Amino acid sequence: MLYFSKIDIYLMFMLCLGIESTAHTFGVGIVSDKGEILANSKDVYKPPHGSGIVPHDAKVHHENCKERVLEDALKSAGVDLSDIDLIAFSQGPGLPPCLWVGTEFAKKISNENNIPLIGVNHPVAHIEIAKLTTGAKDPVVIYVSGGNTQILAFAGGRYRVFGETEDISIGNALDTFARKVGLPYPGGPKIEKLAKSGKYVELPYVVKGMDLSFSGIVTAAEKLYRDGVKLENICFSLQETCFSMLVEVTERAVAHTGKKEVVLTGGVAANKRLIEMLEIMCKERGCSFSSVPMEYSGDNGVMISWTGILAYKSGQRTKNFDPISRWRTDEVEISWMK
Ligand code: AMP
Ligand code: MG
């Protein structure tokens, strides 16, 4: 095995600094073009109790922590800005006030230090960090986060959406239910904990073709709570129902594409029960399953850096640096895959 010291890495390889700021997380990651992760610094905005993300407050949070998070990333990688060859930033989709903080900050660092700048699509970055960290080459991807729920696979130059939510994301569904029953944000981990001692109670199961819908399930779960059903039981059923729906659509995507790998990514990928259910399905289907490591499951700057490197090295150049608050995963040309 070849061994490179940190100094070798800086001299021989390209280093990219990536900035994430689409929603609650302000993150800075530093990655080499060999996929070596040198820093993953972040600060996460916490909404006030009983509330979802307040975009203006998240923006102020990002403004206040950006310099500190950058310094922390440079320090933990042991580099300074003169060692950085490329700056990548999450250009969208996301909350416009939050996106602007990252965009302006990235532009400033790029201009002041004369470093090329590239815009990155946030969901594509969740997919690419999952591939880098799991070693999957061409998987069916389940992307489940606070803002998105999509089942994707590479076909004809893009990550095509095989199934997605018709209304809210799964993360939003879990967070909304949690908020309604007085659990703090983020709701996903708390629901997972409570679900461990729960039993099944009926909730609607909503799969329409390859698409999913979660908002009616949340309404039904809230009604059960008002009717006095034990919170643990609702949490258990909420997970079992929503996750079964995801597994069903993923299984059909695997059958349709004939792909041999399945990868889970996004903040909800931290959920052990979802991982377990997908593992069972994949074993039965004879395909491999892997999940992005916890530290890269939620929003982070590392995934932006790595995707920036892939895009830049395959010849992509960003012309307009303004945020793109609506930017579908399947609009992005994946020029680094054949
Ligand atoms: P992201 O938007 O990718 O940063 O992910 C944030 C979302 O992940 C929030 O909706 C969280 O509730 C959710 N989440 C985090 N940990 C878990 C977990 N253990 N189970 C379910 N959802 C989770
Ligand atoms: Mg995300």
- Domain borders along the chain are 6-127+297-331, 139-295
Q: Which atom of ligand 1 is nearest to the CA of 186?
A: 12
How much of the chain exceeds pLDDT 90, in percent?
Answer: 92
Q: Which atom of ligand 1 is nearest to the CA of 174?
A: 12
> Which residues in the chain land under pLDDT 70?
1-11
Q: Which atom of ligand 1 is nearest to the CA of 266?
A: 3
Tell me how far the alpha carbon of residue 303 lies from the centroid of ligand 2, in angstroms: 10
Burial 37-69 (b: 16+ CB within 10 A, else e): bbbbbbbebebeeeeebeeeebbebbbebbeeb
CA 299 to chain centre: 5
A 10 A CB-CB count for 295 gives 13
Question: What superfamily in CATH does domain 6-127+297-331 come from?
Answer: ATPase, nucleotide binding domain (3.30.420.40)
pLDDT at site 179: 93
Structure tokens at 294: 């916890």
pLDDT at site 185: 86
Ligand 1 neighbour 271 (Cβ under 6 A): yes
Ligand closest to the CA atom of residue 171: 1
Ligand 1 neighbour 170 (Cβ under 6 A): no
Tell me how far the alpha carbon of residue 5 lies from the centroid of ligand 2, in angstroms: 32
Ligand 1 neighbour 301 (Cβ under 6 A): no
Nearest to 115 by CA among 248, 260, 15: 15
Q: Which atom of ligand 1 is nearest to the CA of 270?
A: 19
Residue 10 and residue 281 in contact, taking contact as beta carbons nearer than 8 Å: no
Structure tokens at 46: 């916490």
Ligand 1 neighbour 102 (Cβ under 6 A): no
Ligand 1 neighbour 188 (Cβ under 6 A): yes
Ligand closest to the CA atom of residue 124: 2
Tell me how far the alpha carbon of residue 235 lies from the centroid of ligand 1, in angstroms: 15
Residue 250 CB partners (closer than 8 Å, separation 6+): 140, 142, 151, 163, 262, 278, 281
Residue 312 CB partners (closer than 8 Å, separation 6+): 16, 86, 88, 116, 118
**Ligand 1 pocket, mutate which of 268, 295, 302 (most atoms under 8 A from CB):** 268
Residue 211 and residue 166 in contact, taking contact as beta carbons nearer than 8 Å: yes
pLDDT at site 3: 62
pLDDT at site 2: 55
Nearest 5°: the CA angle 115, 118, 121 is: 155
Residues with CB under 5 A from ligand 2 (ion): 145, 299
Domain 139-295 class? alpha beta
Residue 301 and residue 20 in contact, taking contact as beta carbons nearer than 8 Å: yes
Alpha-helical (H) ranges within the chain are 6-12, 55-77, 96-113, 122-134, 170-180, 187-195, 215-226, 231-257, 272-285, 301-313
Q: Cis (ω within 30 of 0) for the bond into 123?
A: no
Q: Following DSSP, what letter does each residue of 178-233 receive, concatenated? A: HHHTTPPSSHHHHHHHHHTT---------EETTEE--HHHHHHHHHHHHTT--HHH
Token pair 């002041």: residue:
112
Two domains, one topology: 6-127+297-331 and 139-295:
yes
Structure tokens at 218: 């949340």
Q: Cis (ω within 30 of 0) for the bond into 186?
A: yes
Q: Could you give the C-alpha distances from 204 to 31, 167, 191, 212, 323, in angstroms and in order? A: 43, 15, 18, 12, 37
CA 256/CA 117 separation, integer angstroms? 38
pLDDT at site 63: 98
Tell me how far the alpha carbon of residue 327 lies from the centroid of ligand 2, in angstroms: 13
pLDDT at site 9: 58
Q: Which atom of ligand 1 is nearest to the CA of 25?
A: 4
